[in-house]
Each structure stands twice: as structure tokens, then as C-alpha cells.
Amino acid sequence: MARNKQGILFVVSAPSGAGKTTLVNKVIAALPGVGLSVSCTTRPPRPGEQTGVDYSFISRDEFTAMEQAGKFMEWARVHGDLYGTPRANVERLKDGEDLILEIDTQGAREIRKVFPESVLIFILPPSLEVLRGRLQARGGDSEEAMAARLHNAQKELDQIARYDYIVVNAEIEEATRELASIITAERCKTARVLEREKGGTYGANNG
Ligand code: 5GP
């Protein structure tokens, strides 16, 4: 049976402090066959963050060299730092792995242009007050940086109509179930199943 194993590209955006990383990590642990794209950034690591796990933490010079060599699928300046999705990460889709990109709204727009079939998911905090509290609890950001993040959060919220799904992260287990359900539903979409099975059991009678 000829199987087209192209994976599904999920783009997850959220204002920082919405709990996106915890949520995405829980879903990846729970759902086989979905991986995470580790971005490159010029931002310094926060306490507990590891290079190669949370991000590849690189210098501005390294970032510029990669950008000029065309190694990023998309990149953006966020809160004064540079963030980019390495092209090599997205190549994993060809192996049939579903992939999550945790990127901002600018990046999501770029990815949609290149991959119109990508699935865009926005994670909302229950309120801006909760967001502020989470940012304070996380630490590692100056007052100024935190104010910039809150301002940016407001701007990002204006973009949510571009997204296919919204998950409100009020309670982590519930939000995890919702995100996992979205991924599962997308995997079961008729068009995707027929594409995967082209020439196979179901694809043969298609039309
Ligand atoms: P943080 O510094 O809080 O980890 O991330 C700040 C913002 O940058 C978040 O909105 C995050 O999704 C976004 N971001 C992280 N990696 C990338 C990337 O590779 N590309 C783009 N466009 N945004 C990214």
C-alpha cells in the first residue's frame, strides 16, 4: 500500500506566561508521533532552561550567519531578541512525524503562507491578571521586560481570529486534553486520511 507519510504541522502561539510550554510538553508526552521544533534564540536562558531542549541559545552573530545562509524557515524579533525556526526541524515532517512549532503570531503568519495546510492553535490565559501573576512567578525578567511582554500580549490577542483553534489554559489537565483532542481530530480528518492512504484500502475507491 502506497502511503504518503507527510506529517501535520501544528503552530502553537500564546502570549508569554500563558503556560504554553508546559501544556505542549504534556501533550507531547501523552501523544505518540508528535515532536517539538526547538527554535534558536539570542535571548539569554532563564533559570532552569537548557540549550537544545528549550531553545538553542546562540549569539547574535551566529543567528545572523544562519539567517544569511537561509537556514531559518521563519524568524522574528520578539521583545528585542531574535527567534527562528530552523528549516531542518520542519524537514522532519517528511518522515511522517507531526510537529509542533511554538512561535509568535508573526511566525505563524509566515508559516501559514508556506504551509497553507498547517493548523494554527492559540493558547489563551484565563485573563491578563493571571498572565501578569504567572510572569512574576516565573522570574528571570526585569520589570521593563515584563511590561514589554504584557504590552505584546495585548497586541498578540488582536491576532487570534487568524487561528483555527483556541485553547483557554485555566486548568492545565483540561487544556492538555483539549490540545490533544485537536491534534487527534486533525489526524482523523477525511482529507488527511485519504491522502495518507492514497492508492490503499480507502483511497482506491475515492471518487
Ligand atoms: P519566550 O522568550 O517567552 O520563550 O518567547 C517569546 C516569544 O517568542 C513567544 O511568543 C514564543 O512563541 C516566540 N518564539 C519562540 N521561538 C520562536 C521562533 O522560532 N519563531 C518565532 N517567530 N517566534 C518564536
Tell me the mean pLDDT per 10 residues along the chain, length 207: 76 88 94 96 94 96 98 94 97 93 96 96 88 78 82 86 95 96 97 82 55
Return the best residue to mutate from 58, 103, 151 for the ligand 1 pocket (most ligand atoms within 8 A of CB). 103
Q: Is the CB of 138 under 6 A from ligand 1?
A: no
pLDDT at 4: 60
The Å distance, Cα 43 to ligand 1 centre, comes to 10
What is the C-alpha separation between 116 and 107, in angstroms, rounded?
13
Q: How far is CA 71 from CA 9, 87, 88, 119, 156, in A?
A: 18, 6, 8, 23, 26
Atom of ligand 1 nearest to the CA of 110: 22
pLDDT at 152: 82
Length of the chain: 207
Residue nearest to atom 16 of ligand 1 (CA): 103
What is the C-alpha separation between 88 and 75, in angstroms, rounded?
14
Q: Is the CB of 132 under 6 A from ligand 1?
A: no
pLDDT at 16: 77
Residue nearest to atom 1 of ligand 1 (CA): 16
What is the C-alpha separation between 50 and 60, in angstroms, rounded?
18
pLDDT at 155: 84
The pTM of the full predicted model, rounded to 2 decimals, is 0.89
Kindly state the cell numbers that stand for 167: 485553547
Domain 9-39+96-196 fold is Rossmann fold (3.40.50)
pLDDT at 205: 52
Residue of 103, 127, 125, 126 whose CA lies nearest to 115:
103
pLDDT at 65: 98
pLDDT at 198: 79
pLDDT at 1: 43
